[in-house]
Amino acid sequence: MSPAPSRPASLAYIGLGSNLDQPRKQVATALSELDALPLSRVSVASRLYASRPVGPQDQPDFVNAVVALETYLSPLALLDQLQALEQRHRRRRERHWGPRTLDLDVLLFNTTLVAHPRLQVPHPHMHTRAFVLRPLCEIAPHLRLRGQPLEQWLAGLGDDVTPLA
Ligand code: ROI
């Protein structure tokens, strides 16, 4: 991620999800594309997980993962990059909460709160979603959301999220 500016990098956590067009491949490819984003590098990536869909059940299971991304981009510049990357995967989203080729969500950005029409950070639903919390817990077990450890949030949710072999 050269050139290295003099200020420290930010640490963003990004959630990845796919349930269309070879989801494992979509997510695996996106992991290396995230590492190649300008002024950014993936410092840790979770394993890939299979998860039952949250929302409408008449759609395929998802593949999910979470990465920690060191970045010198601002939250909105990062969002622009993630949306461009989704488009390169010819993102299809057939209906609200329906199947998609690739979804990339900014979950956390340092301890920054972002309340912008295009972006809310922390992601407003992340503490309710095992498909985010389980991989996040693998790479950042120390994190707390709304004052509560990830494991505690997970304990209150059905656990239908399992690592892929
Ligand atoms: N369900 C699962 N299991 N994984 C996702 O990534 C996912 N993404 C979504 C909705 C449709 C809410 N459900 C999901 O956007």
What mean pLDDT is predicted for residues 56-66?
96
Q: How far apart are CA 130 and CA 74, in angstroms?
A: 27
Based on the residue annotation, tell me whether 88 is a catalytic residue of this protein: no
Task: Look at ligand 1, atom 13, and give the residue with the nearest C-alpha.
Answer: 54
Per the prediction, the chain carries an average pLDDT of: 94
Q: How far apart are CA 130 and CA 125, in angstroms?
A: 10
64 lines ligand 1 (CB under 6 A): yes
List 91, 105, 129, 134, catalytic entry: 105
Instruction: Tell me which residue range forms the domain holding 44.
Output: 10-163
Does residue 142 register a pLDDT over 80? yes
Q: Looking at residue 92, what is its pLDDT?
A: 63
Based on the residue annotation, tell me whether 105 is a catalytic residue of this protein: yes
For residue range 13-33, what is the model confidence (pLDDT) as tens digits?
A: 999 999 999 999 999 999 999
Domain presence at residue 1: no
Task: Look at ligand 1, atom 2, and give the residue with the nearest C-alpha.
Answer: 53
Q: How far apart are CA 113 and CA 134, in angstroms?
A: 22
For residue range 81-130, what is the model confidence (pLDDT) as tens digits?
A: 999 999 999 766 667 888 889 999 999 999 999 999 999 999 999 999 99
Q: How far apart are CA 41 and CA 81, in angstroms?
A: 13
Of 115, 116, 95, 113, residue with least CA distance to 53: 95
For residue range 29-47, what is the model confidence (pLDDT) as tens digits?
A: 999 999 999 999 999 999 9
Domain presence at residue 27: yes
Model-wide pTM > 0.75? yes
Domain presence at residue 93: yes
Domain presence at residue 76: yes
CATH code for position 120: 3.30.70.560
Domain presence at residue 59: yes
Of 126, 112, 116, 143, residue with least CA distance to 14: 126
Total of domains in the chain:
1
Q: What percent of the chain has pLDDT over 70?
A: 95
